[in-house]
Structure 1
Amino acid sequence: MELATIRTAEGTRAAVRSGDQWLPLGAPHLSALLTDAAWRTTAQAALAGTAPHAVAPVAVDDAELVLPLPAPRKVICCGLNYADHILEMGRDLPEHPTLFAKFADTLTGPTDELAVPAAAQGALDWEAELAVVVGAELRNAGEEEARQGIAGYTLANDISVRDWQNRTLQWFQGKAWDATNPLGPVLVTADALDPEAGVEITCEVNGIRRQTGNTKTLVFSAPALVAYISQFTVLRPGDVILTGTPGGVGMGMKPPRYLADGDTVVVEAQGLGRLANTIRFTD
């Protein structure tokens, strides 16, 4: 299934795609939908035509897709998870995942402009990523339980402020700027997409390809990450886990190349759609 949060005249709605239409569901967004243990049954009933629609179906071409998960309790990110990116950063392959956290208000929509304040404009970098969306409460999960507890996958762009990131050994201050992490545009359920079989993710800046990676080369797979994280913090439906970025980031170029005012960054993956965000420097 393909799920999204769409904006209608009545506000935002979680919705499931059926052909050339989005069928709105009862929840205001996917964060709310996933907290209902019956979310999958609800979506399947809508697809089968056995559930009433409070809001009329919306044509795909007329739908505005917004931030799909505006209220995760946790956003946890894995750095250095593609071998090529690890090597370009001058590091050894890790024994354990390198993790850091973001706040929910770092997230923004799949086509939103990114308003970047003056303090963050010096070394702004792109990072195309696959994001895992949790679909069940998980604590001390084994890898198979974690696999079953994944609701699905979406795209992310972990825009990073490198000069702030490199001020200390802790990355948090370079990764948690407000509304700088595009997410979306859709959530594809885990039964319809398998990252371990390989999903190619690309990033273009102003039409120039900068990153190409395949999820089958992840050092730590999505289920492995979910299981590992669940050992120290409970994961709940709607939580988001970013799985890392492939090689080709601006900081790894010689000389380094960073984003400028007016640049457009596009992250794409077959089956998951695209993020297209323009950088706007503010005072």
Structure 2
Amino acid sequence: MKIVGVRRSRNDSTVEVATLSEQGDEVTVIAALADFWADPAGHLSRPPTGPTLPVASVERVPPVLPDARVFCIGLNYSDHAAEGSFRDQDLPPYPTLFARWTRSLTVDGAEVPVPSNEEGLDWEGEVVAWVGAPLVDATPEEALAAVLGYSAFNDLTSRRAQKLTSQWTLGKNGDRSGPLGPIVPAAEVGDLKQGLQLRTRVNGETVQDARTDQMIYPVGETLSLISHTLTLRPGDLLATGTPAGVGYARTPPRLLQPGDTVEVEVERLGTVRNTVVGNHHRSEAVRAVHH
């Protein structure tokens, strides 16, 4: 099963959650966005009762609540930490966490603009875990059991902005810089510790190739850690970090340019494919909204 967000009309801001057909050409509505996240496990346990619509007739959007929190783990693979000049003995005992805003998220197929003051965008293929039940002071086992599902994700990064300060927020929140794939239920995916293949390709060339069992900070342990400070709620997301092979660490550095296509493929989760475009697309999008 693959779960997506849809709008039936570009003139209607209502977001609904739907299942995507195996062929990818139809969606069947499950529930309105807020209704789905009020009881996600219950909705997935029952056959969807909403209409079935052609994909071509709807707008795909992330099935993300506006007030959801998007937590991201930095330096969660040893080889990626090493290419950033961190040795294993230098890694902290707890994960480095930063945040994205939900407005930065988009979907497979969306065009992602390069900001005007960047030389390009950097790719970061990842897996996202979706929280499906409230978590307060949870054990790692309880936290992992509360994961509703997983998605392929590309944490596209504005490196210049990221490095301007000691905090990473600016560089991690560019317009449409967080493409998400459909949610695949956790029961169909299993534990990431089993080692799912994760590959990132740029214009067909493989630039990242790793397995999820190489993570330093596992999903259950990280969600447990977060839950001891703040209450996690259904619909919150955890981006689990990227392996080695990012562009800025190459010699010479390599960044995504307008016209490039970047793909993140994760075993059992599918592929997120996006095209990079120029900065002028940002102002065009704003004009379209106001007209």
TM-score computed with the length of structure 1 as normaliser? 0.88
Cα offset, 1:16, TM superposition: 2.8
2:183 is aligned to 187
Aligned pairs, number: 271
Cα offset, 1:202, TM superposition: 0.9
Cα offset, 1:72, TM superposition: 4.8
2:2 is aligned to 2
Distance 2:175 2:54 in 1: 32
Aligned mate of 1:14, from 9, 12, 17: 17
Task: Indicate the percent of aligned positions where both proteins have the same amino acid.
Answer: 34
Contact 2:30 2:36 in 1 (8 A): no
Cα offset, 1:71, TM superposition: 2.7
Distance 1:144 1:170 in 2: 31
| 1:44–1:220 CA distance, 2 compared to 1 (3 A) | same
- The aligned runs of 1:25-174 (5 Å cut-off) are 25-27=30-32, 29=33, 32-37=34-39, 39-46=40-47, 53-55=49-51, 57-58=52-53, 65-69=60-64, 71-93=66-88, 94=91, 95-119=93-117, 121-174=118-171
| 1:33–1:254 CA distance, 2 compared to 1 (3 A) | farther
Distance 1:258 1:105 in 2: 23
Distance 1:173 1:228 in 2: 24
Distance 1:237 1:40 in 2: 10
TM-score computed with the length of structure 2 as normaliser? 0.85
Cα offset, 1:63, TM superposition: 7.2
Cα offset, 1:65, TM superposition: 4.2
Q: Give ranges in structure 2 of 5+ residues lacking alignment.
A: 281-291
2:157 counterpart letter in structure 1:
S
| 1:261–1:166 CA distance, 2 compared to 1 (3 A) | same
Cα offset, 1:138, TM superposition: 0.8
Aligned mate of 1:228, from 225, 229, 246: 225
Distance 2:222 2:101 in 1: 19
Q: Secondary structure at the match of 2:226?
A: helix
Distance 1:265 1:72 in 2: 28
- CA displacement, residues 48-98 of structure 1 (integer Å, 9 cap, x when unaligned): xxxxx342x246798764323253520110010011111111103321101
